[in-house]
C-alpha cells in the first residue's frame, strides 16, 4: 500500500486538474440541448479510463451512453478473485438559477479546501476518486486483489431509465460480489459513513367527489357532505397522537433496530436545537419512543404532500366544493413491502370513507426499502477502509430517502450495495454553488484503495 499512498500524494494536484476537466462538461441530462455535452463527457471518460490503464468502452442506450471500464486481467492468477462493480454517474443536475452562483457552474474553481462547480460532488468527484485509486494500483504495478468494473451512467438525475435494461443485458459480465457506490453523504469531515439502509416509498392520490359541481354554500350548504371536510376527517385519522401511522398492519413487517444500530446512531453528531432551528419549526414532532435520527431514517412515515380543494384565491368564495384531493406518500423501512402497504392503505381508506362521497385512489409505483446488514463481513470491511483513510471512527447511517437503483442491483445482479458517500451536508448538491471538499476527494481515493484490500479478504 505504501507505493499507492505515495502515488496518490504525488499526483494530488494533477488529479484535481483531472476533476476540473471532468466538471467542465455541462453534462445536464435533463436538458435536451446538452445531449452532445453528455456524449463528449462520456467520450472523455472512456479516454481517461484508457489512459489509466482500464479497458473502457462506450455503451449506447436509448438515452445517454453508459461508460463501462474494467481492470485488465493479469497474465497469471491463482484461482478465483472477487469482482466488484463501482457505480457512478457523469450526468449532473441543471445549474439554474445561474445568477446565484458565485462562479460559473461549468468553470470549476478551487476556493479554500473546496472545488466549486456543478457535478463536483454529485457525482463526478466521487466516482473519479475510485478511478484514481485504481489508477494508483495500475500505475505503480501493485497487484489488485480483485477485478473491478466501473459502470458510470448518464441518466441518474433523470431517473436512470436505461440502467435496469443495461444490467439485464450485461448480467453475466456484471456478475459481482458487491456494488460500491459513492453517491451519498457523510455527516461531517470527521464522520466518514457507511450508508447501510434506505427507506422505500409508496405514493397515493386520494380524491373524494361530492356534488356534481361546486355548490352555493348558502343555498345548499347543510344538506350535503363537504368533500373537503370528509377528506380532512379521513386524513386526520391516519395518524394517532403518538405520531404513529394509524393503519392496521402498517408496522407488521418493520424490522426493529438492533441494539448495535441504536448504539451506532447515538454516535452520530446531532443537536436537536440546531436541527429545529435549521428546519424553522416551533417544535419537533415524530413517532414517540424514537429519536429524531431514528424517526427520519429507520421508521416508516405517512406524509400528506399536497391538498387541493375548492377556492384557493384571495378572500372567500362561499361554496361547497365538488371535490377534494390529497397527495400522500408513505416512506417504508425494511422489511415493509410497498405492494402490501398499498393494499392496507387502500382497505383502510375504503373503510374510513363515508357513503356521502365517492372515493378514488390512484397509487404510484412503489420502491422497496433497502438494507445491507451493518454487521456483515463486507460492511465491516468497508468500515475498516473508511477508518484507515479518514483516520477516525466511521459511522453507520440509514438514509431516509430512496435510491431505486440499489434494488435493481440486488434484483438483477443479486449483489448488495455498499454506499460510501463522500459528500458533506453543505456541498450544495442540486443547488447553486455545488462544491466538493478536496480533502474528501483525496481521502476518498485512499479509502477506495484500502477498500479493495479489505473487501477481497472477506
Which residues in 398-427 contact a second copy (CB under 8 A)?
399-402
218 within 8 A of 318, measured Cβ to Cβ: yes
Which of 94, 145, 189, 310 touches a second copy (CB under 8 A)?
310
Question: Residue 235 Cβ, how far from a second copy at the closest point, in Å?
Answer: 4
Which of 45, 92, 319, 397 touches a second copy (CB under 8 A)?
319
Q: Cβ contacts of residue 446 below 8 Å, gap of 6+?
A: 5, 8, 133, 388, 389
Is 267 a binding residue for a second copy by CB under 8 A? The answer is: no
Long-range CB pairs of 307-310 (<8 Å, 24+ gap) are: 307/231, 309/227, 309/228, 309/231, 310/214, 310/228
Is 207 a binding residue for a second copy by CB under 8 A? The answer is: no
Is 349 a binding residue for a second copy by CB under 8 A? The answer is: no
Is 432 a binding residue for a second copy by CB under 8 A? The answer is: no
Closest of 383, 394, 374 to residue 190, by C-alpha:
394
Which of 60, 221, 269, 391 touches a second copy (CB under 8 A)?
221
Which of 218, 248, 269, 391 touches a second copy (CB under 8 A)?
218
Is 97 a binding residue for a second copy by CB under 8 A? The answer is: no
Is 233 a binding residue for a second copy by CB under 8 A? The answer is: yes
Is 274 a binding residue for a second copy by CB under 8 A? The answer is: no
Residue count, binding to a second copy (CB under 8 A) = 80
Site for a second copy in 165-204 (CB under 8 A): 199, 201, 203
Phi, then psi, of 7 in degrees rounded to 5: -65, -45
- Residues 377-395, buried b or exposed e (16+ Cβ, 10 A)? ebbebbbbbbbbbbeeebb
Is 449 a binding residue for a second copy by CB under 8 A? The answer is: no
Single out the segment in contact with a second copy by CB under 8 A; choices: 97-105, 209-217, 387-395, 443-451: 209-217
C-alpha cell at 73: 486481467
Site pattern 350..369 for a second copy (x: CB under 8 A): ----xxxxx-----x-----
User: Measured between alpha carbons, how far is 95 from 99 in angstroms, rounded to an integer?
Assistant: 10
Q: Cβ contacts of residue 158 below 8 Å, gap of 6+?
A: 29, 30, 63, 91
72 within 8 A of 56, measured Cβ to Cβ: no
Task: Let me know how long the chain is.
Answer: 458
Q: Cβ contacts of residue 33 below 8 Å, gap of 6+?
A: none
Site pattern 16..55 for a second copy (x: CB under 8 A): ----------------------------------------
Which of 38, 228, 422, 451 touches a second copy (CB under 8 A)?
228
User: Measured between alpha carbons, how far is 234 from 107 in angstroms, rounded to an integer?
Assistant: 52
Is 301 a binding residue for a second copy by CB under 8 A? The answer is: yes
Q: Please, which residue, 94 or 364, has the CB nearer to a second copy?
A: 364
Q: Please, which residue, 36 or 312, has the CB nearer to a second copy?
A: 312
R_g over Cα of the chain:
25
C-alpha cell at 305: 404532500
Site for a second copy in 329-348 (CB under 8 A): 329, 331
Only one residue has cell 480483485, namely 146
Is 371 a binding residue for a second copy by CB under 8 A? The answer is: no
- DSSP H stretches of helix in 208-258: 227-236
Amino acid at each position: 500500500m505504501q507505493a499507492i499512498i505515495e502515488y496518490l500524494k504525488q499526483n494530488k494536484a494533477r488529479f484535481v486538474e483531472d476533476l476540473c476537466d471532468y466538471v467542465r462538461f455541462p453534462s445536464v441530462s435533463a436538458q435536451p440541448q446538452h445531449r452532445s455535452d453528455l456524449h463528449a463527457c462520456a467520450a472523455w471518460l472512456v479516454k481517461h479510463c484508457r489512459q489509466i490503464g482500464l479497458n473502457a468502452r462506450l455503451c449506447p442506450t436509448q438515452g445517454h451512453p453508459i461508460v463501462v471500464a474494467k481492470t485488465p486481467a493479469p497474465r497469471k492468477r491463482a484461482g478465483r478473485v472477487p469482482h466488484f462493480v463501482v457505480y457512478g454517474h457523469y450526468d449532473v443536475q441543471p445549474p439554474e438559477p445561474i445568477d446565484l452562483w458565485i462562479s460559473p457552474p461549468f468553470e470549476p474553481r478551487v476556493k479554500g479546501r473546496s472545488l466549486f462547480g456543478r457535478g463536483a460532488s454529485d457525482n463526478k468527484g466521487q466516482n473519479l476518486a475510485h478511478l484514481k485509486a485504481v489508477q494508483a494500483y495500475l500505475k505503480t504495478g501493485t497487484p489488485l486483489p480483485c477485478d473491478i468494473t466501473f459502470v458510470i451512467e448518464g441518466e441518474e438525475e433523470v431517473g436512470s431509465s436505461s440502467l435496469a435494461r443495461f444490467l439485464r443485458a450485461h448480467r453475466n459480465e456484471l456478475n459481482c460480489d458487491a456494488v460500491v457506490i459513492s453517491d451519498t453523504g457523510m455527516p461531517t469531515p470527521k464522520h466518514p459513513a457507511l450508508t447501510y439502509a434506505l427507506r422505500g416509498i409508496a405514493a397515493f392520490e386520494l380524491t373524494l367527489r361530492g356534488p356534481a359541481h361546486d355548490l352555493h354554500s348558502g343555498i345548499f350548504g347543510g344538506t350535503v357532505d363537504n368533500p373537503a371536510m370528509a377528506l380532512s376527517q379521513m386524513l386526520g385519522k391516519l395518524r394517532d397522537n403518538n405520531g404513529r401511522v394509524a393503519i392496521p398492519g402498517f408496522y407488521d413487517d418493520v424490522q426493529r433496530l438492533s441494539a448495535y444500530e441504536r448504539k451506532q446512531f447515538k454516535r452520530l453528531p446531532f443537536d436537536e436545537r440546531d436541527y429545529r432551528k435549521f428546519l424553522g419549526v416551533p417544535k419537533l414532532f415524530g413517532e414517540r419512543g424514537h429519536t429524531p435520527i431514528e424517526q427520519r431514517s429507520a421508521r416508516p412515515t405517512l406524509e400528506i404532500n399536497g391538498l387541493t380543494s375548492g377556492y384557493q384565491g384571495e378572500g372567500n368564495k362561499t361554496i361547497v366544493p365538488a371535490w377534494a384531493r390529497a397527495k400522500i406518500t408513505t416512506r417504508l423501512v425494511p422489511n415493509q413491502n410497498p405492494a402490501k402497504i398499498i393494499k392496507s392503505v387502500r382497505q383502510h381508506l375504503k373503510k374510513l370513507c363515508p357513503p356521502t362521497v365517492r372515493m378514488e385512489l390512484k397509487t404510484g409505483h412503489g420502491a422497496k426499502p433497502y438494507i445491507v446488514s451493518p454487521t456483515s463481513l463486507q460492511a465491516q470491511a468497508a468500515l475498516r477502509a473508511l477508518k484507515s483513510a479518514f483516520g477516525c471512527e466511521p459511522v453507520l447511517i440509514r438514509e431516509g430517502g430512496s435510491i431505486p437503483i440499489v434494488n435493481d442491483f440486488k434484483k438483477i445482479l443479486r449483489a448488495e450495495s455498499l454506499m460510501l458517500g463522500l459528500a458533506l451536508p453543505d456541498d450544495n448538491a442540486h443547488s447553486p454553488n455545488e462544491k466538493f471538499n478536496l480533502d474528501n476527494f483525496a481521502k476518498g481515493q485512499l479509502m477506495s484503495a484500502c477498500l479493495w484490500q479489505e473487501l477481497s479478504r472477506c
